[in-house]
Amino acid sequence: MSVRENDVKQAPACTAASLGNYLWNDPPDESKWADCVHCGMCLESCPTYEQTGQEQHSPRGRVHLIKSVAEGKLEVNEAFADPVFACLDCRACTTACPADVDVGGLIEEARGQIRQAMPLTGWKGAVSKFFLEGVFPHANRLHLLGRLLKFYQTSGLQKMARKTRLIHMMPEHLVEMEAILPKVKQPVRQKYKQAGMIQAKGETKRTVALLTGCVMDVMFSDINEATIRVLTRNGNNVTIPQNQTCCGALHVHAGDRETGRKLAKQNIEAFKDADTVIVNAAGCGCMLKEYPELFREDQEWREKAERFAAKVQDISKYLYDTGYEKPKAEIKTRITYHDACHLAHGQGIRREPRDILLSIPGVEMVHMPNADRCCGSAGIYNITHPEMAGAVLKSKMEHVPEEVEMISMGNPGCMLQMAMGVLKYGRNQKIVHTVQLLDWAYQKEDQQKVGESWR
């Protein structure tokens, strides 16, 4: 979120140990920048550097700025906050860096300091507090919002707002988002509330717990449903712990590490009896695996977070590692795959989703150049930085092969952003989650079996 002079106020004197001009607990970790030799090999990988050509909007420039504040050469002020919050946190620079400098981790830690020193005020502060503290951590409020959205979509209000162009009273980027909102269905957390455990089909091989996600379960409950069907089909009992909460990624990206820690503790407790925690949203999976980073100054919780993080698995990798059943029904389609940043750069998962797609008879994969380049979604970046997000999306869409019918990926934020790209640039591709396509193939296979049994 870019910071303007009149949106911020200086916070009162802090109470914690400091590092240079970082005056609060949990400052950026010196060991993360220690290996940066300013070689510049990360520059070309950075979408914001590509768009601006400015060193301060490059990974190397950001590392230098973050280090300079720690050395007392720079203040935590607007000039520092702007490039730090303009970063997409896409982690492409860490993949490109020969020294594995964790630029994304530094960015998140620096944002934590900025938001404590310069809390958002005015309408930005109110909106941020409303969603980050008042909505995302509370499943019942999110579900209520989902019902309101469903009413808007099904009551004729949406049609009327579009027809009368009332919708255009909103800023342009929000109008674009409204146009690609998926149809809201019942969240799986609500649907299976009384179910306890969802039983594996056939022989039970393992039991896993599913992170349903906050926004994911409201906007994309059909993908959660597909995930459950695919897991049970492959011999997994599935549990949905009811006391789980939002993963905290949006909070940590926004600099609210304290709420991030609270949510992390709740999830660690909620999943304490699970051996495996399955995640189908790359951003959430990456956050859960990085919980130990939030507890660098708390040994007890750090150890708990490490044990928890070791149990977290992305759905595509879990299916690949446990030997999922290859579908037999044909889905004849030409498809391309977009690597979500937090799957490819954040978790190093590239081969497994492609393997799943290629295992479906009839699927023809077309290579997308720069498949692991950010699409501009980046959590709520497309709301806070619409111009940069739009430029990054434009560049992404230029690489989507014209001849494909579908674009597959493993992150809901990317799905919305890419759907916006398809609409905006007059393309006609369908956006699918990798696990959805596998689920369709299984369903088709089952229908064919039913058909055969009637012959």
Give the footprint of ligand SF4 on residues 123-152 (CB under 6 A): none
Q: Which is nearer to ligand SF4, 39 or 166 (CB)?
A: 39
Q: Is 53 in the site for ligand SF4 (CB under 6 A)?
A: no
Contact in structure between 293 and 261 (CB atoms under 8 Å)? no
The pair phi, psi for residue 50, each rounded to 5°, is -60, -40
Q: Is 392 in the site for ligand SF4 (CB under 6 A)?
A: no
Q: Is 89 in the site for ligand SF4 (CB under 6 A)?
A: yes
Q: Which residues contact 431 (CB under 8 A, 6 or more apart)?
A: 406, 407, 409, 415, 418, 419, 422
Contact in structure between 315 and 278 (CB atoms under 8 Å)? yes
For residue 407, what are the CA distances in angstroms to 309, 337, 375, 412, 419? 29, 6, 12, 13, 9
β-pairing, 236-239 vs 197-198, is: antiparallel
Q: Is 197 in the site for ligand SF4 (CB under 6 A)?
A: no
Q: Is 46 in the site for ligand SF4 (CB under 6 A)?
A: yes
Out of 69, 93, 117, 287, point to the residue binding ligand SF4 (CB under 6 A).
93
Q: Is 38 in the site for ligand SF4 (CB under 6 A)?
A: yes
- The stretch near ligand SF4 (CB under 6 A) out of 44-52, 218-226, 361-369, 418-426 is 44-52
Out of 1, 88, 177, 208, point to the residue binding ligand SF4 (CB under 6 A).
88
Out of 70, 76, 90, 106, point to the residue binding ligand SF4 (CB under 6 A).
90
Out of 3, 24, 27, 59, point to the residue binding ligand SF4 (CB under 6 A).
59
Contact in structure between 335 and 406 (CB atoms under 8 Å)? yes
CA separation for the pair 28, 20 (Å, rounded): 11
Closest CA to 174 of 118, 115, 127: 127
Q: Which residues contact 13 (CB under 8 A, 6 or more apart)?
A: none
For residue 84, what are the CA distances in angstroms to 32, 71, 78, 213? 16, 17, 10, 27
Q: Is 107 left (phi over 0), alpha (psi -120 to 50) or beta?
A: alpha
Contact in structure between 41 and 82 (CB atoms under 8 Å)? no
Out of 32, 60, 111, 317, point to the residue binding ligand SF4 (CB under 6 A).
60
Out of 3, 84, 92, 270, point to the residue binding ligand SF4 (CB under 6 A).
92
Out of 3, 70, 84, 97, point to the residue binding ligand SF4 (CB under 6 A).
97
Number of residues that bind ligand SF4 (CB under 6 A): 27
Q: Which is nearer to ligand SF4, 87 or 319 (CB)?
A: 87
- Smallest gap from Cβ 428 to ligand SF4, in A, equals 29
Q: Is 265 in the site for ligand SF4 (CB under 6 A)?
A: no
- Smallest gap from Cβ 17 to ligand SF4, in A, equals 27
Give the footprint of ligand SF4 on residues 327-356 (CB under 6 A): none
- Smallest gap from Cβ 78 to ligand SF4, in A, equals 19
CA separation for the pair 136, 333 (Å, rounded): 36
CA separation for the pair 241, 238 (Å, rounded): 10
- The stretch near ligand SF4 (CB under 6 A) out of 57-65, 118-126, 396-404, 443-451 is 57-65
Out of 103, 132, 263, 284, point to the residue binding ligand SF4 (CB under 6 A).
103
- The stretch near ligand SF4 (CB under 6 A) out of 87-95, 118-126, 131-139, 364-372 is 87-95
Contact in structure between 70 and 64 (CB atoms under 8 Å)? no
Q: Is 47 in the site for ligand SF4 (CB under 6 A)?
A: yes
Sheet holding 206-210, edge to edge: 197-198, 236-239, 206-210, 277-279, 312-314
Residues that bind ligand SF4 (CB under 6 A): 36-42, 45-48, 59-60, 62-63, 87-93, 97, 99, 101, 103-104
